[in-house]
C-alpha cells in the first residue's frame, strides 16, 4: 500500500468522525475543538494533494486564527454551557438529517457521473503545475492571472474590519438607551 493511501485511510475516518463528533457535542467549546481536529485533517489532505502552501494557510488561518476567534467569542459571551437538546420545531431534526444524507448521496452520484470512482490524478503534477515548488507556482498564477481579484480581496478585508468596528462598538447613544442588562445568572451558577 503506497504512503498516500495509508495517509488517506488513516485521516479520512478521523475527518468524518471529528465532524460528526462536532455535531453531537452539546457544549460549544467541545464542538470547536472537534472542528479544529477536522481542519487539521483537511490540511493533511491538502498536503497529500500537492497543495503545501494551502496546507500551511489552512493551519495558520483556520485552525489557528479563525478557531481562536470562535473560542474567544464563546468565552466573551459566556455561552460555554450546554445547549438544550429539546427540538421545538416539529420534524426539523428528522427532515434535516434525511435531507443531509440525501444531498450526500446525490453528491456521490454526481462524483461518479462526473469524475468516476477509479480516476487517478496525473502523475506529473509536481513537474507541471507545481513547477519550482508549490508556493512559487501558486504565486505565479496568483500574481499574474488573478492579480486584480487578489487586490479586490484586500478591499474586502478592510471593509470587513470596518464593519466589525461599527458592529461591535457600542455607541454612547445605544448605551444610554439600552436597558439595564439582567445579571449573568449562568456565571454565578
Positions in 12-51 near another protein (CB under 8 A): 12, 15-16, 19-20, 22-23, 25, 28, 31-32, 35, 38-39, 42, 45-46, 48-51
Total residue length of the chain = 189
Q: Does 10 engage in binding with another protein (CB under 8 A)? A: no
Cβ count near 58 (within 10 Å):
20
75 binds another protein (CB under 8 A): no
Cell 488561518 sits at which residue?
A: 61
Cell reading at 158: 478592510
Q: Could you give the C-alpha distances from 122 to 21, 85, 114, 128, in angstroms and in order?
A: 34, 47, 17, 10
Residue 68 interacting with another protein (CB under 8 A): no
For the segment 96-155, give every residue that binds another protein (CB under 8 A).
96-97, 99-104, 106-113, 115-125, 128-130, 137-138, 141-142, 145-146, 149-150, 153
Given 148, 151, 167, 187, the residue binding another protein (CB under 8 A): 167
Q: Is residue 168 close enough to count as binding another protein by CB under 8 A?
A: yes
Report in angstroms how near the CB of residue 21 gets to another protein at its nearest.
10
Q: How far apart are CA 2 and CA 7, in angstroms?
A: 9
Q: Would you count residue 79 as binding another protein (CB under 8 A)? A: yes
Secondary structure (3-state) at 94: helix
Tell which one of 151, 172, 173, 182 touches another protein (CB under 8 A).
Answer: 182
Distance in angstroms (rounded) separating the CA atoms of residues 144 and 125: 20
Report the C-alpha gap between 173 and 176 in whole angstroms.
Answer: 5
Amino acid at each position: 500500500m503506497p504512503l498516500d493511501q495509508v495517509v488517506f485511510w488513516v485521516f479520512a475516518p478521523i475527518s468524518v468522525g471529528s465532524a460528526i463528533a462536532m455535531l453531537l457535542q452539546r457544549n460549544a467549546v467541545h464542538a470547536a475543538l472537534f472542528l479544529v481536529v477536522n481542519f487539521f485533517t483537511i490540511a493533511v489532505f491538502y498536503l497529500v494533494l500537492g497543495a503545501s502552501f494551502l496546507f500551511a494557510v489552512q493551519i495558520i488561518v483556520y485552525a489557528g486564527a479563525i478557531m481562536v476567534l470562535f473560542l474567544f467569542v464563546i468565552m466573551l459571551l459566556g455561552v460555554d454551557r450546554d445547549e438544550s437538546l429539546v427540538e421545538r420545531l416539529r420534524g426539523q431534526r428528522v427532515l434535516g438529517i434525511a435531507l443531509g444524507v440525501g444531498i450526500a448521496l446525490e453528491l456521490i452520484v454526481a462524483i461518479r457521473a462526473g469524475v468516476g470512482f477509479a480516476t487517478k490524478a496525473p502523475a506529473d503534477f509536481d513537474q507541471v503545475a507545481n513547477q519550482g515548488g508549490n508556493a512559487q507556482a501558486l504565486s505565479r498564477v496568483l500574481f499574474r492571472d488573478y492579480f486584480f481579484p487578489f487586490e479586490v480581496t484586500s478591499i474586502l478585508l478592510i471593509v470587513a474590519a470596518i464593519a466589525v468596528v461599527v458592529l461591535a462598538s457600542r455607541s454612547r447613544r445605544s448605551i444610554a438607551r439600552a436597558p439595564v442588562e439582567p445579571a449573568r445568572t449562568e456565571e454565578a451558577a
